Amino acid sequence: MKAQIVFASMTGNNEDMAEILEESLQDAGFDVESTDVSFADASNYLNSDLCIMVTYTYGEGVMTDELRDFYDQLIELDLSGKKFAVMGSGDKTYKEHYCENVDDFEKAFKKCGAVEVATPVKIENAVDDEDINLIDQAAAQMTEAFND
């Protein structure tokens, strides 16, 4: 099974999440490709069974230009028959905007016809041991979805 992870990260927290998820999925037998959103083309999701977005949220939920460009590509795709998951790191001091771009991508994948196979993981800032458990649990849910 092929998994495509796209991550958006400025200071490394979301990149760390993506790396942990990548390892976890590889251990479960997935063939994983992980790409920085700056270099990613959303159409790559068409070649994978599991589509994953790991994203920051900056600017009180307003997407950065690179995230918006990627989002605009994604929203045009037909991802019927694909499975998806989203996760990200944000900061609760931004209150109602906490991890808002994670929610934006969750809605976008649903609009594209993909089926969500893991509970979104939202963590605060840097990854700690508890967060690693959450990411691993989400990876287990993703894996389970292919065993049904």
Ligand X SMILES: Cc1cc2nc3c(=O)[nH]c(=O)nc-3n(C[C@H](O)[C@H](O)[C@H](O)COP(=O)(O)O)c2cc1C
Q: Is 14 in the site for ligand X (CB under 6 A)?
A: yes
Query: Are the C-beta atoms of residues 116 and 82 closer than 8 Å to each other?
Result: no
Query: Looking at beta carbons only, is 99 or 108 nearer to ligand X?
Result: 99
Is 56 an interacting residue with respect to ligand X (CB under 6 A)?
A: yes
In the region spanning residues 109 to 148, those forming contacts with ligand X, defined by CB under 6 A, are: 125
98 binds ligand X (CB under 6 A): yes
Tokens for 62?
């307003």
Angstrom distance (rounded) from CA 2 to CA 28: 12
Instruction: Count interface residues toward ligand X (CB under 6 A).
Output: 22
Q: Is 68 within 8 Å of 25 (Cβ atoms)?
A: no
Q: Determine the interface stretch with ligand X among 4-12, 18-26, 37-45, 113-121 (rule: CB under 6 A).
A: 4-12
Give me the least distance between CB of 7 and ligand X, in Å please: 8
Q: How many CB atoms lie within 10 A of CB 94?
A: 15
Separation of alpha carbons 22 and 85, rounded Å: 13
| Site residues for ligand X per CB under 6 A | 9-15, 56-61, 89-91, 94, 97-100, 125
